[in-house]
Structure 1
Amino acid sequence: MKNIVIGSGPAGRLASYELGKLGEEVTLIEKKHIAGTCLNEGCMVVCALTDISKFIDSNRRFNEYGFIKSQIDVSYDKIVAKIKETQEMLRKLNQMENESVGNNVIYGEAKINEDVVEVNGESMEYENLLIATGARPQIPDVKGSEYGLTNKDILKLDDVPDKLNIIGGGIIACEIANIYSTLGSEVNVIVRSEFLKEIDIDVKNYILKHLISDVNVMEHTDISECGKNKVVLSNGNELEGVPFFATGRIPNSEIAQGFVDLNPDNTIKVNEFMQTSRDNVYAAGDVTGGWQLTPVARMEGICAARNMANYLNKVSYESVPQSISLNTEVSFVENEKIGDIETETISLPAIAGPGAFWKILSGDTGYAKIEFDKQNNKIKKINSISPSSVSDVAYLSYLMRIDSPLDEYSNFLEIHPSTDTNYKIIKNLWL
């Protein structure tokens, strides 16, 4: 076999597809479900549940305005059933996509033995190997940790918990808190250091005040024990509620231990070509650490695939856009090309745009904070909170990556109101 790919998450699946399109012979090996964490346990599940929470939020708003009178009766088990039904459909489509370019998809647990990959009792030699085995939730070493849920368990819940204690203070913790507080849970977020410490402080405060105001966030607080329906804090106080761990992720790199070099955190060490310490072995996605984002994993997988097919390709992590999926989306990006030069910062409250019309009356259409290099007419940093911020910031991040001055945006013809937010942001910078 010329090319073997282990793991079918965003990195492995896209790498296999790219290799197939390039006319390469490919076997894709998946341990459980095609499409990996993203579809089966991660962002797609979060997005599906956030769609529900957005609907509930809109219904509440319309009832307050008085032109719709309705009550919502949420059936969590039916939501879960429909998510699983959709996942089954997408798995079939993802497999069909890979097979459409001639790839062979095998299900089973792979093992690496030098120049041979073993799966289901069969040994296969390879010319090139890609390890894209992803990552899994990190469980803290505390008494009773076996009672804690993670993102892997969301679709195993029978109903919305009455009380939920989320341990962790990153993006996943924030997204889960938003979903279940909107669905009716009483939610605590317990953070050992600071909540959302990686994002702009003004954006964090906006999120706490306007987007998850019903959530009780407890910073500089640790836990000492978990129970089936409780969390014991380090100060001895007990909080009733189901424990949920959002305490980071660890790489599924055991398959590569002793075979290729690992980083100190046990992620697989790669260069800018996604190449490991062995010339014909590559790695991509969450197992390599770094940006644990689906689009980045796809980019890394495609980069690795092109190099495996002898089309020299490097990966670039400049201006990577990120988001937090809440009832109003939060997105942000930084242009690393702009160094420590004098910049201007502007804040723009209440930016209207797609999905914002019915939020104008209550004044919660969003917020944007932009750090701007006025001399070169370029954005250095942008934090945007709006219903359309995901697409807005993705577009602006592209301008950052191609190092384009913003006055070139005047040549862009929009479909109203798709880019209203972009237009207002850039217009204010021009002024």
Structure 2
Amino acid sequence: MEATFVIVGGGIAGVSCAETLAFFEPDKSIILLSESSLIKTVINLHAITRTLTQFNIQEMESSEFSLKHPNITVIHDTLVEINDGEHYILTSTNKTIKYEYLCLCTGAQPKLIPQAELFEEIIGIRDTDSVEIFLQKINRAKKVAIVGNGGIASELAYKIKNTQVHWIIKDKHISATFVEPGAAEFFLSSLNKDVQEEQVTKRMRYQEEYSHRSGAALGPDWYKNLIIKGAGDLNIPSEIKIHYETEISNIQRSNNSPYALEVTLSNGDKFTCDMIISATGVTARKSFVSKNELELSNTGEIKVNEFMQTNLQNVYAAGDVCCANWKLAKHWFQMKLWTQARQMGSYAAKAMVGHLNNEEVLQDFCFEMFAHSTKLFGYKVILLGLFNGQKLGTNYEILIRMTKGLEYIKFVLEDNKLQGAVLIGDTDLEEMAENLILNQIDLSPYGDDILNPDIDIEDYFD
């Protein structure tokens, strides 16, 4: 088999790359190599601001996807080897596929705690199959432990009901991947509330249908339509005990206890539980070999330049498997997020098309400023720019406005210019904050009034 473009990976990055290629080059052949027979496609793409977008995810059979894009052939297979010298790849079913341009979008896999290999009661959550296993086990659990402090761990701590929860984090506050101690304190009051029906918000929606496969990340709202309940007493509210600044030091089978595991923490605390959910981040998913070595980062991601090119000729990479190895814009940095996977996949396609046609490639505007929209503890959360003072050292100022149970707004300023923002709740300040960061307007005339609730600051910047 052969094609002008070959993309490896059926997740958000890979499919965004394939669809963008099909749009720009409808007459060129494209092969999408996916471990899953189902393809996730972006629909209803809508820009909320210049950098924040909203879209839905639609799952379809690969045959239906090929009907929609006649020049894309989907192959249900796994990449085994890249021969970059002769421009072909080998798959697990011994297919040889020749390419002119190759894009690797293989994503990432869960980085489980070391003891996960020893106990079946320890699971990670990354893809659809792992959610099915989790739901089967949680129904029989009265006590669970969550390890990790990112998005999935925070969502689980908030969503699990009818069970005791031990939340083990190595930081001084919850949700440290996204927010600082002040916002974490704002979230804490939500942890022991009953989960209310979620309101529709301006953000990306992602619906996942169950099927037996692995690979692509769940993305946002994976828990949206799930009822996550344990086997505890319905009349007793769920208890959450947070173990700060600690890690698991030992796990063993518990004796003389109704619970399967006994956990010992590095601070000496002990407790028993039915299961442990490991949500401690991900590592690049690179289970293939290449004739010439790909240049990797210290943490195992494939290094790419400002055109998403690897060190191998005509081989590109996008999404969680890659590492941005160019001089970054001041207000942008890389995180393993579904938003960036879509952006990188689409931009890699534009770069490949430009190089095929000998056209100048200009870097996408999305790499000018970090922007992410998510939901934590029932609140809409928008993170813009250097929202936690990343890259700024210690010479910056923070302005905060909080209304308990309603909103939390944090502005990060350096030299009287906005560098980042955290917007929790329905603040409607995202467009203004984005413009202030991008335009670097001097805010010294406004002082602290920029977050004064009695002043509509948006009037100044319409």
TM-score by length of 1: 0.70
Structure 2 residue aligned with 1:299: 343
Rate the CA distance shift 1:129–1:400 in 2: closer, same or farther, 3 A: farther
**Structure 1 residue 276 corresponds to structure 2 residue 310:** yes
- 2:421–2:433 contact (8 Å) kept in structure 1: no
Give, in whole Å, the separation in 1 of the partners of 2:19 and 2:103: 13
> Aligned to 1:243, what secondary structure does the other structure show?
strand
Give, in whole Å, the separation in 1 of the partners of 2:159 and 2:455: 30
Rate the CA distance shift 1:300–1:176 in 2: closer, same or farther, 3 A: same
Structure 1 residue aligned with 2:162: 184
Structure 2 residue aligned with 1:116: 88
Higher relative contact order (CA 8 A, sep 6+): 2
> Aligned to 2:311, what secondary structure does the other structure show?
coil
Give, in whole Å, the separation in 2 of the partners of 1:95 and 1:110: 20
Rate the CA distance shift 1:36–1:239 in 2: closer, same or farther, 3 A: farther
State the 1:247 CA deviation.
1.0
Q: Superposition pairs for residues 308-387 of structure 1, below 5 Å?
A: 308-310=352-354, 311=359, 312-314=361-363, 317-322=367-372, 323-335=374-386, 345-350=398-403, 364-372=405-413, 375=416, 379-386=418-425
State the 1:11 CA deviation.
0.8
**Structure 1 residue 3 corresponds to structure 2 residue 47:** no
Rate the CA distance shift 1:259–1:33 in 2: closer, same or farther, 3 A: farther
- 1:372–1:429 contact (8 Å) kept in structure 2: no
- 1:232–1:239 contact (8 Å) kept in structure 2: yes
Deviations 1:345-401 (A, max 9, x none): 433233xxxxxxxxxxxx6222212234685xx532222221x36x854x4564256
5+ residue gaps, structure 2: 44-55, 194-238, 254-258, 324-333, 444-451
Give, in whole Å, the separation in 2 of the partners of 1:36 and 1:424: 44
State the 1:3 CA deviation.
0.5
Rate the CA distance shift 1:342–1:141 in 2: closer, same or farther, 3 A: closer
Structure 1 residue aligned with 2:244: 219
Match of 1:260 among 294, 302, 307: 294
Rate the CA distance shift 1:96–1:231 in 2: closer, same or farther, 3 A: farther
Structure 1 residue aligned with 2:36: 32
- 1:163–1:241 contact (8 Å) kept in structure 2: yes
- 2:384–2:434 contact (8 Å) kept in structure 1: no
The amino acid of 2:60's aligned partner reads K
Rate the CA distance shift 1:253–1:340 in 2: closer, same or farther, 3 A: closer
Q: Superposition pairs for residues 406-417 of structure 1, below 5 Å?
A: none
Give, in whole Å, the separation in 2 of the partners of 1:205 and 1:165: 21
Give, in whole Å, the separation in 2 of the partners of 1:100 and 1:401: 39
Q: Which has the higher strand share?
A: 2
Match of 1:403 among 433, 439, 444: 439
State the 1:110 CA deviation.
2.1
Give, in whole Å, the separation in 2 of the partners of 1:280 and 1:18: 17
**Structure 1 residue 241 corresponds to structure 2 residue 218:** no
State the 1:428 CA deviation.
9.3
Give, in whole Å, the separation in 1 of the partners of 2:168 and 2:390: 36
- 1:5–1:12 contact (8 Å) kept in structure 2: yes
Give, in whole Å, the separation in 1 of the partners of 2:66 and 2:456: 40
Give, in whole Å, the separation in 2 of the partners of 1:38 and 1:21: 14
Deviations 1:41-93 (A, max 9, x none): xxxxxxxxxxxxxxxxxxxxxxxxxxxxxxxxxxxxxxxxxxxxxx9x93217
**Structure 1 residue 155 corresponds to structure 2 residue 132:** yes
Structure 2 residue aligned with 1:66: none
> Aligned to 1:32, what secondary structure does the other structure show?
coil
Match of 1:232 among 251, 259, 263: 263
Match of 2:18 among 13, 16, 19: 16
- 2:369–2:438 contact (8 Å) kept in structure 1: no
State the 1:168 CA deviation.
1.4
> Aligned to 1:269, what secondary structure does the other structure show?
strand
The amino acid of 1:31's aligned partner reads E
Q: Which has the higher helix share?
A: 1
The percentage of counterpart residues that share the same residue type is 20
The amino acid of 1:128's aligned partner reads Y
5+ residue gaps, structure 1: 40-86, 351-362, 408-420
> Aligned to 1:261, what secondary structure does the other structure show?
coil
- 2:13–2:319 contact (8 Å) kept in structure 1: yes
Rate the CA distance shift 1:25–1:423 in 2: closer, same or farther, 3 A: farther
The amino acid of 2:272's aligned partner reads L
**Structure 1 residue 175 corresponds to structure 2 residue 138:** no
Deviations 1:210-243 (A, max 9, x none): 4457532101222211658434113362322321
> Aligned to 2:288, what secondary structure does the other structure show?
helix
State the 1:279 CA deviation.
2.5
**Structure 1 residue 204 corresponds to structure 2 residue 209:** no
Alignment RMSD: 3.7
- 2:146–2:166 contact (8 Å) kept in structure 1: yes
- 2:102–2:314 contact (8 Å) kept in structure 1: yes
State the 1:146 CA deviation.
3.8
